[in-house]
Amino acid sequence: MKDHSLEIVAIPCEAILIGERFRKDHGDLGALAASIASEGLLQPVGITEENILVFGERRLLAVRDVLRQETIQARVVRVRSITAGEYAENEVRKDFTPSERVAIGKTLEAEIGGRQGTRTDLELRRNCGEVEQGTEVGSHAGTKLRENFPEVQAGARTAEIAARKAGFGNRKTYEQAKKVVEKAVDEVLAQMDSGQLSISAAAVIAEQSPQRQIEIAQLPQEEKKAEVRKLRRQDLPTPAEARRQALESGLAILDRNLTYQLPTPESQRPVIERNYAAMAVLDGVRALATCSYPAADIAAAIASLDTPDMDFAGLCCRAAAFLQTVNQEITSHESN
């Protein structure tokens, strides 16, 4: 069994090749360089076996261009080993931060290639050194390919394979993490990588303006969670739009007030509401039937409820009056 564990090596900065990157704004490299000078490089950069940069561009630029150091610590990410399933996804998840796994995922996508609508066996022949050029892909060669690339299935989408191999579990989480890497300010990205923010929460924050992102990132943890919940509501339709969708789809649609709009035409809503009211009354009657307190006492208790919500208080008063009427009717029937 080959050792496919990740190596950490010192490599000349000039030997590392930087390709097209997500993030165009490198931020304050001077501050990062000062931190590296005082505390050391806490996290190595990531490179392929061909010295192509996978992640850590800001760290590389700070070390190479600001500190003028000739070498940098780098982790050799064996992309082909990950693609071939020789390095387990849970190990990738454990060893790397979410933003690093995004970079690995993008590198895997490039390595795997666009397999939609292509012959997977021919694609793998080009990537697998064990199948010699010109060899017919017969039963023996096909078996060998399936052994080396068991995770690749005909028709599988490149991004889905890359997401799984990069340790995300599913493509949705991978896409959310990509969004954070592309759009988030450094504070939000750092909080996602450290685990202070979940990937999904960081993706929600990343949709805001840079200044707003910074403001949210600086909030205490509970306030930050509340703000994310509020922002998630904005993704829901307005009550009017939810109502339209409900009528068109025949499904109950949740609006941004967290109220379900029902697929009921306006002309039928009064009937539905009366039915709901009747069922609520029946539920109340059942509860009263099993209650050991007299109806008059229950009515008095409801009437005495102290609440700043005047609408609710009005409902309570009406409920109390209703119960008093019921009690009077019961008393009248009993006396007769």
Q: Which of 10, 16, 23 is nearest to 53 (CA)?
A: 16
Q: Report the 10 Å Cβ neighbour count for 243.
A: 18
Whether 148 is in a domain gets the answer: yes
Predicted confidence (pLDDT) per residue in 10-27, tens digit:
999 999 988 766 555 677
Q: Which is more confident, 273 or 123?
A: 273
Which amino acid makes up residue 328?
Q
Tell me the whole-structure pTM to 2 decimals.
Answer: 0.57
Q: Does residue 314 carry a pLDDT above 90?
A: no
Cα–Cα distance for residue pair 230/234, rounded to 1 Å: 7
Looking at the structure, tell me whether residues 90 and 197 fall in a common domain.
no
Confidence (pLDDT) at 220: 94
Looking at the structure, tell me whether residues 275 and 203 fall in a common domain.
no
Looking at the structure, tell me whether residues 146 and 53 fall in a common domain.
yes
Confidence (pLDDT) at 70: 93
Identify the domain containing residue 22 by its residue range.
7-131+138-165
Tokens 């292509």 found at: 118
* 175-210 per-residue burial string, b: 16 or more CB within 10 A, e: under 16: bbbbbbbebbbbbbbbbbbeeebbbebbbbbbebee
Encode 273-309 in three state secondary structure: HHHHHHHHHHHHHHHHHCCCCCHHHHHHHHHCCCCCC
Handedness of CA 144, 149, 151, 156 (dihedral sign): negative
Q: Which is more confident, 84 or 208?
A: 208
Looking at the structure, tell me whether residues 20 and 155 fall in a common domain.
yes
Domain boundary among 180, 214, 234: 234
Whether 218 is in a domain gets the answer: yes
Whether 249 is in a domain gets the answer: no
Confidence (pLDDT) at 306: 60
Looking at the structure, tell me whether residues 144 and 28 fall in a common domain.
yes
Q: How many residues in the chain? A: 336
Mean of pLDDT values over 187-212: 93
DSSP-derived pairing of the beta strands 53-55 and 253-254: unpaired
Q: Which is more confident, 215 or 125?
A: 215
Looking at the structure, tell me whether residues 218 and 282 fall in a common domain.
no
∠ CA(222), CA(227), CA(233), 5° rounding? 130
How does residue 207 score in pLDDT terms, banded at 50, 70 and 90?
Answer: very high
- What percentage of the chain carries pLDDT values higher than 70? 74
Confidence (pLDDT) at 135: 35
Looking at the structure, tell me whether residues 85 and 203 fall in a common domain.
no
- Percent helix, strand, coil in the chain, to 5, is 60, 5, 35
Looking at the structure, tell me whether residues 208 and 116 fall in a common domain.
no
Looking at the structure, tell me whether residues 38 and 86 fall in a common domain.
yes
Whether 170 is in a domain gets the answer: no
Looking at the structure, tell me whether residues 13 and 80 fall in a common domain.
yes
Whole-number average pLDDT of the chain = 77
Confidence (pLDDT) at 324: 74
Predicted confidence (pLDDT) per residue in 111-161, tens digit:
877 444 444 444 444 444 433 333 333 333 333 334 444 444 444 588 888
Whether 2 is in a domain gets the answer: no
Which amino acid makes up residue 117?
G
Handedness of CA 193, 3, 115, 154 (dihedral sign): negative
Concatenating the DSSP letter of every residue in 211-246 gives HHHHHHHTS-HHHHHHHHHHHHHHTSPPHHHHHHHH
Query: Which of 29-38, 85-94, 139-148, 311-320 has the weakest average pLDDT?
Result: 139-148
Q: Which is more confident, 84 or 176?
A: 176
Looking at the structure, tell me whether residues 217 and 282 fall in a common domain.
no
Mean of pLDDT values over 303-318: 63
Confidence (pLDDT) at 152: 47
Q: Does residue 204 carry a pLDDT above 90?
A: yes
Whether 254 is in a domain gets the answer: no
Predicted confidence (pLDDT) per residue in 151-189, tens digit:
444 445 888 888 988 889 889 999 999 999 999 998 999
How does residue 281 score in pLDDT terms, banded at 50, 70 and 90?
Answer: confident
Looking at the structure, tell me whether residues 157 and 11 fall in a common domain.
yes
Domain boundary among 234, 257, 287: 234
Whether 112 is in a domain gets the answer: yes
Whether 26 is in a domain gets the answer: yes
Split into its structural domains, the chain has a count of 3
Q: What is the CATH number of the domain that holds 18?
A: 3.90.1530.10
Confidence (pLDDT) at 254: 87
Q: Report the 10 Å Cβ neighbour count for 219.
A: 13
- Note the Cα 164 to chain centre separation in Å: 14
The dihedrals phi and psi of 254, each to the nearest 5 degrees, come to -80, 125
Cα–Cα distance for residue pair 62/35, rounded to 1 Å: 10
Confidence (pLDDT) at 209: 93
Confidence (pLDDT) at 268: 76
Mean of pLDDT values over 258-279: 77
How does residue 313 score in pLDDT terms, banded at 50, 70 and 90?
Answer: low
